[in-house]
Amino acid sequence: MPGIRRLTVDEVPAETKELLGLDVSAVLLFGVPAEKDPLGQGAYDEDGVVQTAIRNIKEVNPDIVLMSDVCLCGYTDHGHCGVIRGGGVDNDATVELLAKTAVSHARAGVDIVAPSAMMDGQVAGVRAALDREGFEDTAILAYAAKHASAFYGPFRDAADSAPRFGDRRGYQKDPANLRESLREIALDLEEGADIVMVKPALPYLDVIRAARERFDAPLAAYAVSGEYAMIKAAADRGWIDERAVVEETLTAIRRAGADFILTYHAKDFARWREEGSA
Ligand code: PBG
Ligand code: ZN
C-alpha cells in the first residue's frame, strides 16, 4: 500500500501525537504478530502487539480515541478469521477467542473494540465478556455489513493475512444482497453494538444510505485498502487530481449518510486541510 507502512510498538506514540496535532482525533489499530499459529494466539496475548501499542499510546496521548480491530486473520497461519475445525471455521469457538481478544484490548486501555470476523453472535459474545470483566464503558464498533470484497486485497498483502485456502464468503456478506446486509446491522444493534459500520464504502453507498434511513445508531463507513490504492495508483500516474478526488469521495460517503469515515487518506487529508487546500 503506497504511503502506508507497518509501525513498531515503539513508533506508534509519535505517530498518534502527530495525528492529534493534525486534528485527527481517532485511530483504528491492527496488529501483525511476529509469529502466526493455527489458533491466532497473538491476538489475545496480554503482551501482544496491539495490547502493547494501546498501552504505549495511552501513556503519551490519553486523549486520542483508540479503536482496535478484533479478529484472528492477522494472527492465524491459515489466514482465516477464526479457528478451523473439520475443514471450516468453528463459529462459536471463534466467538470465545474474539471475546478474549476484546477483553485484553480493554484491559490495555482501548476505548472502542471493533470485532470484524463476521462470526454469528460475535457482538453479543464480546459485549457479555466486556461487561463480565468490568468494562461496561468500552464501546463496540461492529463491522456489521462487511461484504466479501475484492477491495481488501492490498490490506491482506500488507498484513500477510490472505486465507491460505478457500475464501471468506462463508462468513462475509454477499455484495448482491442489500436486505441481508441490513438484517446484519439490525442483529448487531440487538446484540449491543454502539456503532455500526458498512464496508467497503464507495461501492456500497446505497447500503450506507439505506442503513442511515433505517437505523438511528451512529453509522461508520470504511473506505478500504483497495479504494485507497486505486486513487493512489491513478494519482501516481498523473491521471487524476488526488486531493480533489479524495475530497469528492469522502463527501460522497458523508452525503450517503456516514457519521464518520475510516480512511487511509486521513493523514493526507488532514495535511491538505492544514495547508488550506481541502
Ligand atoms: C480483518 C479485516 C480486514 C480488513 C479490515 N479488518 C481484512 C479482511 O477481511 O480480509 C480489510 C481492510 C481493508 O481492506 O482496508 N477481518
Ligand atoms: Zn479477519
DSSP string for 240-277: S-HHHHHHHHHHHHHHHT-SEEEETTHHHHHHHHHHT-
Say whether 58 is catalytic: no
Q: 81 C-alpha to center of ligand 2: Å?
A: 4
Closest ligand 1 atom to 69 CA? 6
Which residues pair with residue 262 across a beta bridge? Answer: 222
- Cα of 214 vs centre of ligand 1, distance in Å, is 25
Q: How far is the CA of 277 from the centre of ligand 1 (A)?
A: 31
Shortest-distance ligand to the CA of residue 68: 1
Contacts of 205 (CB under 8 A, 6+ apart): 252, 253, 256
CA of 223 to the centre of ligand 2 (A): 16
Site to probe by mutation for ligand 1, drawn from 116, 143, 198, 230 as the one with most ligand atoms within 8 Å of Cβ, is 116
At 276, is the pLDDT very low, low, confident or very high (cuts 50, 70, 90)?
confident
21 backbone dihedrals φ, ψ, rounded to 5°: -65, -25
DSSP secondary-structure letter at 147? B
- pLDDT tens for each residue of 119-135: 999 999 999 999 999 99
Q: Name, in order, each residue with C-beta under 8 angstroms of 176's C-beta and a sequence gap of 6 or more.
A: none
146 is annotated as an active-site residue? yes
pLDDT for position 193: 98
Q: Is 8 exposed, middle or buried (0-12, 13-18, 19+ CB in 10 A)?
A: exposed
- The overall average pLDDT reported for the chain is 95
How much distance in Å is there from the Cα of 50 to the middle of ligand 1? 16
Domains in the chain with CATH codes: 12-277 (3.20.20.70)
- DSSP 3-state assignment of 127? helix
Q: Which of 211, 213, 202, 215 is nearest to 252 (CA)?
A: 202
**Ligand 1 atom with the shortest distance to the CA of 30:** 6
Helix (H), strand (E), coil (C) string for 24-60: CCEEEECCCCCCCECCCHHHHCCCCHHHHHHHHHHHH
Cα separation, 216 vs 206, whole angstroms: 17
The continuous run of DSSP H or E covering 14 comes out as helix 12-21
For 146-160, how does the pLDDT look when each residue is reduced to its tens digit (9 = 90+)?
Answer: 899 999 999 998 888
Catalytic residue among 36, 58, 146, 173: 146
Residue 167, pLDDT score: 86
Cα(270)–Cα(76) distance, rounded to whole angstroms?
Answer: 34
31-85 pLDDT per residue, tens: 999 999 999 999 999 999 999 999 999 999 999 999 999 999 999 999 999 999 9
pTM of the model: 0.96
- Residue whose C-alpha cell is 491482506: 156
SS3 220: strand
Query: What angle is formed at CA 262 by the lines to CA 206 and CA 133, rounded to 5 degrees?
Result: 110
Residue bearing the CA closest to ligand 1, atom 5: 116
Strands (E) located in the chain = 26-29, 65-70, 84-85, 88-89, 112-115, 139-146, 195-199, 219-223, 260-263
Q: What pLDDT, in 10s, does the model give residues 247-264?
A: 999 999 999 999 999 999
Nearest listed ligand to the Cα of residue 230: 1
pLDDT over threshold 80, residue 278: no
Q: Which ligand is nearest to the CA of 154?
A: 1
Kind and range of the H or E element at 181? helix 178-190
Q: Which atom of ligand 1 is nearest to the CA of 228?
A: 15
Please name the residues in contact with 151: beta carbons below 8 A apart, sequence gap of 6 or more: 200, 203, 224, 225, 226, 227
Instruction: Look at ligand 1, atom 8, and give the residue with the nearest C-alpha.
Output: 152
Give whole-number Cα distances, 203 to 30, 95, 185, 229, 266, in Å: 23, 29, 18, 14, 19
Asked if residue 139 has pLDDT above 70, the reply is yes
What letter would DSSP give residue 68? Answer: E
| Ligand 1 pocket, CB under 6 A | 69, 71, 73, 81, 116-117, 152, 155-156, 224-225
